Amino acid sequence: MKTYVIRRILQMILLFIGISAIVFLILNVIGDPFAQLAANSQIKPEDIIRLRHQWGFDLPVYLRFFKWFWATIRGNWGISIFGGGRPTTELIGNAIGWTLKFSILAFLLSAGIGIPIGIYSALHQYTIFDNIFTFFSFFGMSMPTFWFGFMLMIIFGLKLHLLPLGGVMTPGMETTPFFLRILDQIKYFVLPVVVLSFYSMGSWTRYARTSMLEVLHQDYLRTARAKGLPERVVIIKHALRNALIPIVTLLGISLPDLISGAMITETVFAIPGMGRLTLDAMMNNDYMLAMACLLLDSLFLIIGNFIADLMYAVIDPRIKYG
Amino acid sequence: MSGINTSQKVESYWHLVSKRLVRDKIALFSMLLIFIVTIVCIIGPYFSPYKSNQMGSPANVLQPPSAKHWLGMDELGRDTLTRLLYGGRISLLIGFLSVFSAIIIGVIIGAYAGYYGGFIDIVLMRFTDIMYSIPVLPLLVVLSAIFPGAGVLKIALVIATFGWMTSARMIRGLFLSLREELYTEAARAIGASSARIIWKHLLPNSLAPIIVFATLRIGGNIIYEATLSYLGFGIMPPTPSWGNMLQNAQYAILIAPWLVWAPGIAIFVTVLAFNFLGDGLRDAMDPRLYR
């Protein structure tokens, strides 16, 4: 087991370096981020040359990569050219806070409601409950998120005036006491969290239902019933535990989504989160910010996969890794 | 050899599948719906007196639904229904093409990785992992920059490029287990080549999950195309697609809601149908769900 973990960690590091190289290459193909500075007449050419040298743009691509990688390892993630020269770590730090708040809430909602519903559907397959829940789980998955969010915003924001039209805080409330601020923020959270969770709630429901159904027809359950165990014990102690194994691995794979945020939802509801930051950085060719965001996404993707594999190996005693 | 009626087994499996599918009324209805929508989108435009780009006079802009224009007109005086039908052609074509390509790539990679195992498996799976970990957005920007223009083929291939990894993993898993089946060993014993085993024996037996996967992905890819239009990477106007019609009409939701509802409902109903059908197929085809 320990050798497996060490081997995986080494593979992860290699994968990480490989991914950063590929992403770096891609972003450098797109174009010179300092070009837009040249168009600004208020910036002196010497400053541009200095900036270029500082961030390694007078070097060929492969040397630039090493320079960037060395700086990144040591914690220097560059500045945001488009965002007024602020360090990317500051921008990312601000954005991640918002993204985490929304995505953790959405995750708890979607998994917390979806999985039990899926399991219930499996236990009562083909009943009216199953059909209703099936319909609702597909409901969320059958719409583009930008349309769904937009519709909700129109209905609840414009027509009914119940909820705000996006953003995260009423302007001017940054300095009010903590408790009042939270109360105010709740109404900003409702719609984005609903939109975020609706889509994945459907997947969790389907996945839990399928997994549970697969387990329910196994022979060992028949054995357990033949032994005389009460049905409740059969379901909870045997069926559920085995059905949850693949679900738990899915939980690990959902980890990177918590960090990278939902680009579309954040844009629709004007949430200053990681998703929107990444999107804006890419669109504006804000090179270093884009690299930093994408790197963070890749990092958590790799870690998430690793945790999923690890949990799978730990929970299922039948799996042996060399 | 003619005494062994091997065709009997294959026929009865699909027979069972269709019998079980018919029991699922919702899935049956969905299949019918998809069929109707596809036919209407292919044939419909020939019945329409309008062209998709035929712009009306400025006085006729943003007209609500009427007898002459069943779904009203958009901001350039074009008939919404006609555009919806043309757009349906494009969106459905992108959905089918992208899934088809993703499956072909996935089958090639997954089959060889799963069947041969060992070093080939490791190499192919690492390659799949790397492709899986590359963030979509920068790749999208680069692909759009390198290949300008936004044809159906290009969009379908782009979507397939981001989606083949899931099918490859699934097929690899299938082949890993099918490889241990008795008929594989028998085929190898009589000297069948690996290629023949893969394509003639293992692949037909993995068709069921592939079909389920494909059906569910078509819906997902239609939505993906809409999202790409939202980000600006989808089908470019004036060519209509459900995605870009939806995106372009959002600003007019309060003054011309039919412009948003038409493509929105079209996408929703079609994708919902694909999801129900795929789920019904999965229930019908999974041998472990025998009751």
**Is A138 in contact with B279 (Cβ distance < 8 A)?**
yes
* CB-CB neighbors (< 8 A) of B275 in chain A: 138, 141-142
Evaluate if pTM is beyond 0.90.
Answer: no
**Is A290 in contact with B138 (Cβ distance < 8 A)?**
yes
Task: Convert the pLDDT of each residue in A6-62 to its tens digit.
Answer: 888 888 888 888 888 888 888 877 766 676 666 667 777 777 777 777 777 777 777
Cis omega (within 30 of 0) on the bond before B238?
yes
Low-confidence spans in chain A with pLDDT less than 70: 1, 31-33, 35-40, 173-174, 315-322
**Which of B33, B133, B282 should we substitute to test contact with A (largest number of A Cβ atoms within 10 Å)?**
B133
3-state helix/strand/coil string of chain A? CHHHHHHHHHHHHHHHHHHHHHHHHHHHHHCCCCHHHHCCCCCCHHHHHHHHHHCCCCCCHHHHHHHHHHHHHCCCCCECCCCCCCEHHHHHHHHHHHHHHHHHHHHHHHHHHHHHHHHHHHHCCCCHHHHHHHHHHHHHHCCCHHHHHHHHHHHHHHHCCCCCCCCCCCCCCCCCCHHHHHHHHHHHHHHHHHHHHHHHHHHHHHHHHHHHHHHHCCHHHHHHHHCCCCHHHHHHHHHHHHHHHHHHHHHHHCHHHHHHCCHHHHHHCCCCCHHHHHHHHHHCCCHHHHHHHHHHHHHHHHHHHHHHHHHHHHHCCCCCCC
Q: Radius of gyration over alpha carbons of chain B, in Å?
A: 23
For each of the domains in chain A, give its residue range(s) and CATH number, in order of start: 2-83 (no CATH), 97-315 (1.10.3720.10)
- Residue B73: strand pairing partners: B79
User: What tokens were used for B73?
Assistant: 């007109």
Q: Is the CA virtual torsion B124, B125, B130, B134 positive or negative? A: positive
Q: Is the minimum CB–CB distance between A214 and chain B shorter than 8 Å?
A: yes
**Is B134 in contact with A30 (Cβ distance < 8 A)?**
no
Could you tell me the residue ranges of all domains in chain B? 13-46+69-289
Alpha carbons B91 and B243: distance in angstroms, whole number: 8
Please give, rounded to a whole number of angstroms, the shortest distance from the CA of A74 to a CA of chain B: 23
Residue B16's identity, in one-letter code, is L
Please give, rounded to a whole number of angstroms, the shortest distance from the CA of B189 to a CA of chain A: 30
**Is A144 in contact with B226 (Cβ distance < 8 A)?**
yes
- Residue B123: strand pairing partners: none
* CB-CB neighbors (< 8 A) of A23 in chain B: 134-135, 138
- pLDDT string in tens for chain B (291-residue length): 555 655 555 557 777 778 777 777 888 889 999 999 999 998 888 887 777 677 766 666 777 777 777 777 777 778 888 888 989 999 999 999 999 999 999 999 988 888 887 888 888 888 888 888 888 888 887 777 777 666 788 888 888 888 898 888 888 888 887 888 778 888 888 888 878 777 888 888 888 888 888 998 999 899 988 888 888 888 887 888 888 888 888 888 888 888 888 899 999 999 999 998 988 888 787 765 443
Q: Is the minimum CB–CB distance between A253 and chain B shorter than 8 Å?
A: no
Cβ neighbourhood burial of A56 (10 Å; 0-12, 13-18, 19+): middle
Task: Convert the pLDDT of each residue in A121-145 to its tens digit.
Answer: 888 877 888 778 878 888 888 888 8
Q: Which of A141, A213, A282 is opposite residue B137, by nearest beta carbon? A: A282
What is the CATH class of B13-46+69-289? mainly alpha
